[in-house]
Amino acid sequence: MNEGGLVYSQILNNVIMRNKELVDKRFSQIEGRIKTLKFLLSRQSSVQQFKDELKSLENTVEDLKSMIERDYSPLKNG
């Protein structure tokens, strides 16, 4: 298992998440966007295409971080 997969597993094992399916979807989106970035590099795509995909990846990561922070929030349980 790679480092990212290990971190992902630890998060899911340590926290009971109400939004597990949504978190899984976000991780899949991140993996897909990384593959797209690698493809863009291999095809010598435009800088703008790469920047657009990178921004999309950053947005997905921020969304995932927000979801995890909400699950860790002490206010969640009252």
Encode pLDDT of 15-44 as tens digits: 545 667 888 899 999 999 999 999 999 998
The answer to whether residues 61 and 30 touch, using CB atoms and an 8 Å cutoff, is yes
Give the integer Cα–Cα distance in Å for 35 and 23. 19
| Other beta carbons less than 10 A from residue 23's beta carbon | 20
Q: What is the pTM of this model?
A: 0.68
- Could you tell me the two tokens for 63? 């969304």
Token pair 């860790």 is found at 72
Averaged pLDDT of the chain: 82
pLDDT exceeds 50 at position 45: yes
pLDDT exceeds 80 at position 70: no
Q: What angle do CA 44, 37, 62 make, to 5 degrees?
A: 145
